[in-house]
């Protein structure tokens, strides 16, 4: 309920302003949805905003405030960019606590469990995670310095701030793989680091086949942080999304764990 209220207060009500509900036009709502998608690059938030407005207007019809919803016949695909479901399979935000419990109780390889925990805490790309080297981790400055070679596009390095929870996971991981060059060493010279499919296989084994991927953890983080009202530029910076709608964007952002409560 809190996320719906945030969505209303942040994206919907300010845009509607003083327009009475029986005077709303489909163009009013379409502008809100496409604005979220195009200006903030938050397609999932835009999809949810459309869903919220449709639910409210259905209630208005049921209680005789209006005769017909102006967006009842508008589907998300009519307004929003399509995406590949397989690549973005993800649970809803309210399912995240259950997923975190399953990760904590995962009985497979302990390094796989820690890899999933690090993805939740930092939402880096899978490639950056499985190829990470201990030389990239600076415990003194509490930063993970990912070289450009491990980033999408291989053009710009990325800095991930490390909060207390992340440091604890890394310290535990160091007891398992600290003698290796890699955080997550693989099997032999042909596979020097963890396989790209290891995390997906673990999620499938936990009952999330077709419902969750490593990339899905990034998607859940993006949606949750956007709906909590955190600044778009910081969220997008932490996700290493280089396209910006503002001329000056930060080069680093916040991890989920860096939003910890004291």
pLDDT tens, per residue, the chain with 262 residues = 667 787 788 889 988 999 999 999 999 989 998 888 877 667 778 888 898 999 999 999 999 999 999 998 888 888 877 544 444 578 887 888 999 999 999 999 999 999 999 999 998 988 899 999 999 999 999 999 999 887 877 778 899 999 999 999 999 999 999 999 999 999 877 789 999 889 999 999 999 998 888 888 888 888 788 777 777 778 878 887 755 444 333 444 444 444 443 2
Task: Return the structure tokens found at 109.
Answer: 């390889």
First to last CA, the chain: 24
pLDDT at 243: 52
pTM, two decimal places: 0.64
DSSP 3-state of 252: strand
> Quick one: pLDDT at residue 218?
83
The DSSP 8-state label assigned to residue 185 in this structure reads B
8 A C-beta contact, residue 132 and residue 150: yes
Which 3 state secondary structure label does DSSP give 144?
strand
CA atoms of 116 and 205, how far apart (whole Å): 13
Structural domains of the chain, with CATH: 2-79 (1.10.150.130), 93-259 (1.10.443.10)
- C-alpha to C-alpha distance for 234 and 251, rounded to whole angstroms: 9
Rounded Cα distance between 179 and 247, Å, is 43
What whole-number distance in Å separates Cα of residue 48 and Cα of residue 141?
Answer: 38
| Neighbouring residues of 96: CB distance < 8 A, sequence distance ≥ 6 | 220, 224
160 vs 2, 53, 59, 62, 149, CA distance in Å? 28, 36, 44, 49, 15
Token look-up 């102006």 returns 70
Predicted local confidence at residue 245, as pLDDT: 41
Q: Output the pLDDT for position 10.
A: 81
User: What are the two backbone dihedrals, phi and then psi, of residue 144, each rounded to the nearest 5 degrees?
Assistant: -110, 115
Helix (H) or strand (E) holding 161: strand 158-161
Q: Check residue 151 and give its pLDDT.
A: 82
Residue 202: per-residue pLDDT: 93
Beta strands in 167-215 (DSSP E): none
Give the residue carrying structure tokens 């995390």.
Answer: 199
With a CB cutoff of 8 Å and minimum separation 6, the contacts of 107 are none
Q: What is the pLDDT of residue 94?
A: 83
């Amino acid at each position: 309920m809190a996320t719906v209220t945030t969505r209303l207060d942040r994206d919907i009500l300010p845009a509607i302003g003083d327009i009475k509900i029986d005077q709303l036009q489909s163009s009013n709502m379409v502008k809100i949805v496409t604005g979220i998608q195009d200006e903030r690059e938050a397609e999932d938030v835009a999809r949810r905003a459309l869903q919220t407005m449709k639910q409210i207007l259905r209630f208005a019809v049921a209680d005789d405030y209006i005769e017909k919803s102006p967006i009842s016949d508008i589907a998300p695909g009519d307004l929003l960019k399509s995406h590949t479901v397989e690549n973005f399979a993800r649970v809803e935000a309210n399912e995240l606590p259950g997923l975190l419990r399953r990760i904590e109780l995962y009985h497979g390889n302990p390094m796989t469990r820690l890899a999933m925990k690090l993805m939740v805490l930092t939402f880096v790309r899978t490639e950056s995670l499985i190829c990470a080297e201990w030389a990239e981790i600076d415990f003194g400055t509490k930063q993970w310095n990912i070289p450009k070679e491990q980033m999408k596009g291989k053009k710009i390095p990325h800095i991930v701030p490390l909060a207390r929870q992340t440091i604890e996971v890394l310290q535990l991981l160091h007891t398992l793989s600290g003698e290796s060059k890699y955080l997550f060493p693989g099997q032999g010279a042909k596979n020097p680091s963890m396989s790209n499919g290891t995390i997906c296989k673990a999620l499938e084994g936990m009952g999330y086949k077709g419902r969750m991927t490593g990339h899905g953890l990034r998607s859940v983080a993006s949606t949750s942080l956007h709906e909590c009202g955190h600044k778009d530029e910081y969220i997008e910076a932490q996700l290493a999304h280089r396209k910006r709608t503002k001329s000056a964007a930060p080069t680093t952002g916040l991890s989920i764990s860096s939003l910890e409560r004291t």
